[in-house]
């Protein structure tokens, strides 16, 4: 349904937007530093699920409501910001419980993978950058004369999700590799876990302060 030209043009636009680290990328890095590789990868998966929820919302008209209504946009943004701050506070509070010996155990034993995916999905679905991009940019690449507009949008939405899978995974693996080096010392591991928590708190504050691009 979607022409090759539109697919390539939207892929180029998506790549330009995604390579600039936004809330989702910084969230993945923060989780990698605070909890390790397995949590980072589960967070990446959740972020992508949340991002595609935005695609579906835009495709079926809900995205336009969020984008055009200042009240709805602010409510979604503040919900995501509050959850980021909550997760950051939790990571910072428990930083001293982190021990180098714990690195030998799977991260999933310390935090359920499903819960981590859901955390990432919530952050991805309330990401202001994603809301604006999908609501304002995605519809421009749809061929309205061809019909089935929602399906075209959902097809196009798979492109940034695929790009995000690659780039976010690389960010997460890089951050978790740095954490592994810090894990050689309990003290260093505690500090990097605290840094990850502070990064998420700072990110939440930044998201809350971000205005609409009107």
Angle at 8 between CA 7 and CA 13, to 5 degrees: 100
DSSP state of 19: T
Interatomic CA distance for residues 77 and 156, integer angstroms = 24
User: 142: which 2 tokens?
Assistant: 């749809």
- Average of per-residue pLDDT across 185-203: 68
Give tens-digit pLDDT for 88-114.
Answer: 787 677 666 554 444 444 444 445 788
179, containing H or E segment = helix 149-182
Q: CB-based burial of residue 82 (10 Å sphere; 0-12 exposed, 13-18 middle, 19+ buried)? A: middle
Span 128-144, pLDDT tens digits: 778 777 877 787 788 76
Q: Is the pTM of this model over 0.75?
A: no
pLDDT-derived band at 17, boundaries 50, 70, 90: confident
- The ranges assigned to domains in the chain are 22-209
Query: Which residue carries 């979607």 as its tokens?
Result: 2
- Per the prediction, the chain carries an average pLDDT of 76
Assign 63 a pLDDT band (cuts: 50, 70, 90): low
Rounded to 10 deg, the angle between the 128-136 and 37-59 helix axes is: 40
**Cα within 13 Å of Cα(42), Cβ side:** 18
pLDDT at 156 over 80: yes
> Are 45 and 117 spatial neighbours (Cβ–Cβ below 8 Å)?
yes
Helices assigned H by DSSP within 36-125? 37-59, 62-68, 70-93, 113-125
Q: Which of 142, 204, 146, 149 is nearest to 5 (CA)?
A: 142
* Lowest model confidence (mean pLDDT) among 44-48, 58-62, 179-183, 186-190: 186-190
Tokens representing residue 196 in the block: 């990850």
Q: Over the stretch 19-46, which tens digit does the pLDDT of each residue have?
A: 777 777 878 888 888 788 899 999 999 9
């Amino acid at each position: 349904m979607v022409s090759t030209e539109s697919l390539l043009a939207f892929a180029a636009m998506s790549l330009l937007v995604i390579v600039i680290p936004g809330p989702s990328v910084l969230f993945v890095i923060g989780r990698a530093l605070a909890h390790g590789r397995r949590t980072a990868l589960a967070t990446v998966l959740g972020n992508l699920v949340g991002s595609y929820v935005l695609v579906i919302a835009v495709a079926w008209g809900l995205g336009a409501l969020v984008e055009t209504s200042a009240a709805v946009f602010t409510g979604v943004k503040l919900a995501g910001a509050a959850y980021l701050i909550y997760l950051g506070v939790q990571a910072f509070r428990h930083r001293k419980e982190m021990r180098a010996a714990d690195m030998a155990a799977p991260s999933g034993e310390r935090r359920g993978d499903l819960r981590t995916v859901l955390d990432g999905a919530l952050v991805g679905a309330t990401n202001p950058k994603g809301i604006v991009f999908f609501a304002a940019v995605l519809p421009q690449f749809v061929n309205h004369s061809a019909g089935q507009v929602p399906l075209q949008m959902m097809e196009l939405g798979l492109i940034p999700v695929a790009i995000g899978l690659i780039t976010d995974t690389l960010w997460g693996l890089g951050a978790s590799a740095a954490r592994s080096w810090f894990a050689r010392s309990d003290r260093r591991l505690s500090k990097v876990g605290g840094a990850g928590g502070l990064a998420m708190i700072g990110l939440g504050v930044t998201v809350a302060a971000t205005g609409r691009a009107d």
